[in-house]
Chain A
Amino acid sequence: MEEKLRKRPLALLLILTVPLLFSSVFISPPVGAGSFNGRRLGMGGVMLSEYSEAQTRNVSFRAVPRGKVHTSIPLPLGIIQVLASPPEFDPDSPDFNPFEIADLATNFPVFLRIKKPGVLSDDVVMDIARNRLAIDLGEMSQAVPEESFKLGGIFDQPEGGLNIRGFFAGISPLVVAKSDFSLSPSLRDALREGHDFLPNTSYSMKEDAEAQAGAALGVGYARQLNAIPGGKREDPRGTDKLAIFAGGRFKYIMGFAYTKATPIVSFTTGDTLFGSEPLKIDFESMMTKSLPDGFGVMGNGTGLDLGVSAFMGGYEAGLGLTNVVTKIKWKADREFDVLEDSTNEVEKYTIAEDFDYTSTVPLLVVLNAAKRWRGNTVAFDIEKGVTRTTFHLGAETSVRNVAVRTGTWLDGNGKLQFSAGAGFRFWVMGLDMALITSSSVLTGERAVDLALSLSL
């Protein structure tokens, strides 16, 4: 990066999308539907109380008998597909395309890709005159964000542990990452709209990225409120009796690593774009970090999960709050990186060492509802995630040993996606298939995947 910064700005402009690639690679969720379960995917990824992963988002579901459910095992045909035809990773190769690699990373290849999104790779045209510069990125201009570009995700499953008489304890990973990338209007217009770069104008791009990783030790309690503790538990989904469940979980969080960075790259053109004076590039970044030298706990924190749900006459509704007032305290270092004019090198300045710093784990809120009747299920959920509020809507109808499903959802990038699927059972084993759409986080172009999972 430092080497790039030493070069004149026009070459730099061609690679301005690199931070975008980095952010999308590291923090985008693998699939918008958020699951590898073929049944759930076929229903648009909608959350139902019987899924084990639902217990992470609504702790009251821990007390709800799961009924007749099957363990889902995804069939990773997509990995075979990628191994058979991997992208080019050698940057010196003419076929090297980091957008393709980013797309691979942002669409984790568990599923069989039926239709790939278009790869961003168009001809680029630069017009250069003494006082004129225009860059036409072609299709790649789609990768230049029109507005602030936010990405984020949380990984906090699986949650292993014990469950005894409503009390439970377990440990789960906790990885949270989010990024907010933006360009100045002048730079956005020049790269996205192909407008001329102008004299005496400032151009800049900045990113606000944060990542934290640790493990959560949780202890909690969940029970049916309108039943005698320890009494007979029956599946509430098929009865007309009202069943209300509530639960809470206290979490002690061991923090393993934390980093937050806010890099800004900017430059201001002079009276003449290609005059005798080289363009001055400014780069600065404030970084707060708490990183282990070896294996060890760097931070500690606490948090709370709460949930409530109700069932009656085939209806189901739930509200789950995850990471309520969840914070992690770190001993952190802060440094300021800046491109020095005198040396043309990026210099690092330590601002503070071992100072007390508290990070916040984003609050997640999930509201879900479902109705079941005679082999049919219609379900809906809405989730406030790390960076965006999304929803899922799905339906299933089943006759004997065949089920047909469909669904739609708003993915983490604000794009509406669709799914359709089917399920078959053979003796003790089932096969769930789902065709699901997804959109490239870079281009917005749609892909179609085939998800397969066995249910035992």
Chain B
Amino acid sequence: MFVSVVENGQTSTKGEEVKRLALAIIGLAALSQSLLYGCGNKLLTVNIDALSFMDPTVVEQTYGVDPIIPAGGVLPAVFEAPPQRINLTEGLADITDIQSVTLHLASEFANQTGSADVRLQVFISDTETDPYSTTPYVQEDIHLEPATTDTISVNIPSSETLGELLTGEAAQVGIRTTFDSSGSAANVTGVETLIRFTATVVAKRHIP
């Protein structure tokens, strides 16, 4: 323990020391404010492999065999896959604010015979709603020629509504393929394979 020594004639010196000390304290306080860290973005990114939830018979479908897609068909042939349930994580919606949603979809058409204009539509709904009664989140067109393989590949920014569906307990997916074979000289046949179907939801977390 050091001992205080007080001598006459040192008043002014001690006063200056006190001033310097006060300035040092104020300076340190100001410095500390500039060193405070921020809180970061606190984002939650959920990557959902929706394809893994699909039934294999939906992932790969042979078209034009049963039923036939006839040459010069008057009406478009419409194929709707049974709605596919995606089990997710209930509670995420309660702790997040959706920032962005992106769907990544790739579907390959190995067309064997005939030609057609094809429209691919993907519907996503909650489990209480028929997905095909809703507005499609994906709608892409492609023209098929005989003995050729073509791929639809899209990355589509989507809505907050879809983000809320994908951060809920479960969702349903419907895939509709429409073939217009009115200009085809032969029946349209081939195999459609869903090769990628993922969703990325970026949300701001309410918790760290």
Chain A residues in contact with chain B, CB under 8 A? 4, 7-12, 14-15, 17, 39, 50, 67-69, 77, 81, 85, 91-92, 94-100, 112-116, 118-132, 140, 274-276, 375, 377, 396, 398-403, 423-428, 430-431, 450, 452
Cβ contact within 8 Å between A128 and B48: yes
Cβ contact within 8 Å between B208 and A99: yes
For the complex, give the distance between the alpha carbons of A26 and B44 in Å.
29
Cβ of B99 to closest chain A Cβ, rounded Å: 11
For the complex, give the distance between the alpha carbons of A125 and B203 in Å.
10
Chain B residues, Cβ within 8 Å of A67: 1
Chain A residues, Cβ within 8 Å of B35: 114-116
Stretch at the interface among B83-91, B138-146, B156-164, B180-188: B83-91
Cβ contact within 8 Å between A116 and B37: yes
- Kindly state whether residue B77 has any CB partner on chain A within 8 Å: no
Select which of B3, B32, B47 is within 8 A of A127 by beta carbon.
Answer: B47
Chain B residues, Cβ within 8 Å of A132: 49, 52
Cβ contact within 8 Å between B89 and A8: yes
For the complex, give the distance between the alpha carbons of A122 and B40 in Å.
6
Chain B residues in contact with chain A, CB under 8 A? 1-6, 14, 17-18, 21, 25, 28-29, 31-33, 35-49, 52-53, 85-92, 94-95, 97, 169, 204-208
Chain A residues, Cβ within 8 Å of B97: 94
Cβ contact within 8 Å between B28 and A450: yes
For the complex, give the distance between the alpha carbons of A432 and B208 in Å.
38
- 13 of the cross-chain contacts (CB-CB < 8 Å) are A8-B91, A11-B89, A14-B92, A14-B207, A97-B42, A98-B207, A100-B39, A118-B37, A119-B38, A123-B42, A129-B48, A401-B2, A401-B3
For the complex, give the distance between the alpha carbons of A17 and B208 in Å.
10
Cβ of A8 to closest chain B Cβ, rounded Å: 4
Q: Known: A15-B207, A130-B53. Contact between A375 and B88, CB under 8 A? A: no
Chain A residues, Cβ within 8 Å of B94: 7, 11
Chain A residues, Cβ within 8 Å of B46: 125-126, 128
Q: Known: A99-B208, A112-B32, A126-B46. Contact between A11 and B91, CB under 8 A? A: yes
Q: Known: A112-B29, A275-B87, A424-B17. Contact between A124 and B39, CB under 8 A? A: no
Summarize B's interface: helix, strand, loop or mixed: mixed
Chain A residues, Cβ within 8 Å of B3: 68, 398, 401, 425
Select which of A123, A424, A428 is within 8 A of B45 by beta carbon.
Answer: A123
Cβ of A113 to closest chain B Cβ, rounded Å: 6
Cβ contact within 8 Å between A4 and B37: no
Select which of A15, A68, A123, A452 is within 8 A of B44 by beta carbon.
Answer: A123
Cβ contact within 8 Å between B28 and A129: no
For the complex, give the distance between the alpha carbons of A351 and B52 in Å.
47
Chain B residues, Cβ within 8 Å of A131: 52
Cβ contact within 8 Å between A114 and B208: no
Chain B residues, Cβ within 8 Å of A14: 44, 92, 95, 207
For the complex, give the distance between the alpha carbons of A117 and B91 in Å.
31
Select which of A12, A91, A424, A452 is within 8 A of B206 by beta carbon.
Answer: A91
For the complex, give the distance between the alpha carbons of A381 and B31 in Å.
34
For the complex, give the distance between the alpha carbons of A151 and B106 in Å.
52
Cβ of B158 to closest chain A Cβ, rounded Å: 17
Chain A residues, Cβ within 8 Å of B39: 95, 97, 100, 119, 121
For the complex, give the distance between the alpha carbons of A398 and B5 in Å.
12
Most buried by B among A8, A69, A92, A428: A8
Cβ contact within 8 Å between B18 and A426: yes
By beta carbon, the residue of chain B nearest A17 is B208
